[in-house]
Chains A and B, each alone.
Chain A
Amino acid sequence: MVATVIVNEKNGAGETATDKTSGVVRYKNADDANVDANDPMVVPGAGSDFSFDKWLRLNISVAPDTQIENLKAYTDGANGFGTGVLAWYKTIGTFSTPSAPANATGYTDIFTKTSGSPIDMDAINTGPFSSTGDIGDYLITMLEVASTATQGALTGETLTFSYDES
């Protein structure tokens, strides 16, 4: 059978999953999957405002004939957020309750990861995967708004997730 793979956002201590395959991911100063104006990020007078981490993970909702492997994620390589707004990522193998980091130590600029050098999404939780359920590593992304940023809503940026199915 042809597999169905979705992208979930994970929130809360209970790792509540929200299907974001076709849904907006809103960076904010709170741990929830709601796309609303609550808990917005602010342009600080000095330093930076860091969003809560967004935990994303692929999930097989319909199993493949054989297997899925080689999970990747990448951007278009261009930060369209504008001056003073940075997007960071890291991968991790085990879930913990999302929080707001104090800085970007341990993270990498996500816009350095393109189709030519994508993020390896199954380096920790390795494949191949043949059953339904969560697969691969967690992709943690986080937004930094520096004092040099312009106030107001930003044009969105997106990710591509890739996998091999057989």
Chain B
Amino acid sequence: MTNPKIETPFASDPFDYKLSQDPDGTRHGINPRNSLTILPDGETRLFQRRAIKGVGGENVTFDSCLVGELNGVRVYVKDNSIVLTTQDLML
């Protein structure tokens, strides 16, 4: 029996963040519920950390969070939870 193919669902997630950058370097992560803005006060990064969980088994799940970084300090935003740290956290 062939397993049904499951596409990564991030593209169809209405709360997935849209990332953008202004000409002055200000970065934005915006979804319908909230936004994260990083002012260009130093070295900045903004990305989404994605995870495909359960690979090799029958119950794969997908996870994602928004990550902003300013001068090595990171903020991880997932739903209503925010973590501020210098650590490289996995999902």
Judge: A and B partners, yes or no: yes
By a beta-carbon cutoff of 8 Å, the part of chain A in contact with chain B is: 1-7, 19-25, 35, 56, 62, 65-66, 72, 74, 115-116, 118, 156-166
Instruction: Check A166–B53 contact: CB distance below 8 A.
Output: no
Instruction: Check A22–B4 contact: CB distance below 8 A.
Output: yes
Instruction: Check B6–A21 contact: CB distance below 8 A.
Output: yes
- Given A158-B53, A162-B50, A166-B47, 14 other A-B contacts at CB below 8 A? A2-B11, A2-B16, A4-B7, A6-B8, A21-B8, A116-B90, A156-B58, A159-B55, A160-B53, A162-B52, A164-B47, A164-B49, A165-B10, A165-B50
Across the two chains, which residue of chain B brings its CB closest to A76?
Answer: B53
Instruction: Check A74–B8 contact: CB distance below 8 A.
Output: no
Instruction: Check A158–B54 contact: CB distance below 8 A.
Output: yes
A7 CA to B5 CA, complexed, in Å: 11
Instruction: Check B56–A2 contact: CB distance below 8 A.
Output: no
Cβ-neighbour of A4 out of B4, B8, B19 (below 8 A): B8
Chain A residues with CB under 8 A of B51: 160-162
Instruction: Check A162–B6 contact: CB distance below 8 A.
Output: no
Instruction: Check B55–A118 contact: CB distance below 8 A.
Output: no
| Bitwise interface map of B from 17 to 53 toward A, beta carbon under 8 Å scored 1, else 0 | 0010000000000000000000000000111111111
Determine if B73 is an interface residue (Cβ-Cβ < 8 Å). Answer: no
Determine if B84 is an interface residue (Cβ-Cβ < 8 Å). Answer: no
**Which chain B residues (54-79) contact chain A, with CB distance < 8 Å?**
54-58, 60, 67
Instruction: Check A164–B90 contact: CB distance below 8 A.
Output: no
Instruction: Check B67–A7 contact: CB distance below 8 A.
Output: no
- Can you list 19 A-B pairs, Cβ within 8 angstroms, ordered by A? A2-B16, A3-B8, A4-B10, A5-B52, A6-B8, A19-B5, A20-B56, A21-B8, A21-B55, A24-B56, A62-B11, A66-B19, A74-B90, A156-B56, A159-B55, A161-B52, A165-B10, A165-B50, A166-B19
Interchain nearest-CB distance for A5 vs B (Å): 6
